[in-house]
Amino acid sequence: RSIFLFFQEGGEDGLGEGLDWESAVSGFSLALDAFAVSVCMGACIPGRFGRASLRMGGACGLFQFLMPLGGWVAGEWSAGLMTALDHWLAFGLLAFVGGGMIRNALGPSNRCDGDATASPGALFSLALATSIDAFVVGAGFALVNKPVLTLALLAGVFTALTCVLGIYIGRF
């Protein structure tokens, strides 16, 4: 098997059946958390926001493309280990993200700090936080012997487009 296997096996022409529903639905659903963050970001960006929407779409789209590939590799490499530690890994990731959210909620409140996409660190954090689930889905695809490239491409494209749209929707 190859991580870059694009088509499903079993088509009459040898190329497979192409797009499958699991990848399409998973790719679209992975984009929705980044869309929600983009709507909130759009509400906080003063003035012109075209570049901010492209930065947000590009960063989140790239992460949503790369994380399923990384998850697939990790799932292939550690299938046995993953079953023993998956719940602890999920707990650790959620505790880290949730702890940060609680810390931010209890700290001083500033509703809008301006354009967070202008800060590479903040943009990296947003893109990483919204793509952790894509890593897990990629690992799941590896564990059920499903190719991941279609998912990664769809997740990246859907995320980039919905982030750009989200920034614009947040302005209204």
Q: Is pLDDT above 90 for 123?
A: no
Q: Is pLDDT above 60 for 143?
A: yes
What pLDDT does 149 receive?
92
Tell me the mean pLDDT in the region 103-107.
Answer: 77
Q: Is pLDDT above 80 for 116?
A: no
Tell me the mean pLDDT in the region 87-93.
Answer: 80
Q: Is pLDDT above 80 for 95?
A: yes
- CA-closest candidate to residue 141, choices 155, 129, 128: 155
| DSSP per-residue letters across the chain | --TT--SPS--TTSS---S-HHHHHHHHHHHHHHHHHHHHHHHH--S--HHHHHHHHHHHHHHHHHHHHHHHHHHHHTHHHHHHHHHHHHHHHHHHHHHHHHHHHHS---S--S-GGGSHHHHHHHHHHTTHHHHHHHHHHHHTT---HHHHHHHHHHHHHHHHHHHHHHT-
Entry pTM: 0.75
User: Model confidence at 18, in pLDDT bands (50, 70, 90)?
Assistant: low
Tell me the mean pLDDT in the region 79-107.
Answer: 77
Q: Is pLDDT above 70 for 17?
A: no
Q: Is pLDDT above 60 for 12?
A: no
User: Model confidence at 125, in pLDDT bands (50, 70, 90)?
Assistant: confident
